[in-house]
């Protein structure tokens, strides 16, 4: 089984607003509303984390995760070894265009074996 691990950072003044932003992000990415409860970050804002299981061959899962990320933002930085530990980063400071207002950063990683 392959798993993707996601984190979304949002710049919101309250947990209620952060929950709404994260729910919109998940709606775009997964065609489903989220019940995730973002937690406060020490430097301000909120972060939500989740994992998602994927079926299929390694290459198909990596492409699926990249496609999910592209539904959330444009301009991803890809790092890691595509054969063992690919990761993606989208950051407002890098000029990434997020598809939901209030998002400041998103990361993903594919976990499992090729």
- Residue 109 reports pLDDT greater than 80: yes
Q: What is the pLDDT of residue 33?
A: 67
**pTM of structure:** 0.93
Q: What is the pLDDT of residue 32?
A: 72
- Residue 35 reports pLDDT greater than 80: no
Q: What's the burial of 16, exposed, middle or buried (CB within 10 Å: 0-12/13-18/19+)?
A: exposed
Supply the CATH classification number for the domain 2-111. Answer: 3.30.1440
Residue (of 106, 87, 86, 88) closest to 97 by Cα position: 106
User: Averaged over 62-83, what is the pLDDT?
Assistant: 95
- Residue 104 reports pLDDT greater than 70: yes
Q: What is the pLDDT of residue 34?
A: 72
């Amino acid at each position: 089984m392959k798993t993707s691990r996601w984190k979304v950072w949002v710049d919101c003044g309250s947990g209620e607003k952060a929950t709404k932003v994260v729910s919109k992000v998940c709606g775009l990415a997964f065609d489903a509303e989220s019940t995730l409860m973002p937690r406060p970050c020490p430097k301000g804002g909120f972060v939500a984390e989740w994992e998602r299981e994927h079926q299929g061959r390694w290459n198909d899962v990596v492409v699926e995760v990249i496609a999910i990320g592209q539904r959330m933002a444009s301009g991803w930085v890809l790092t890691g070894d595509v054969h063992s530990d690919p990761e993606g980063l989208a950051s407002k400071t890098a000029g990434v265009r997020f598809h939901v207002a209030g998002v400041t950063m998103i990361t993903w990683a594919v976990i499992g074996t090729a």
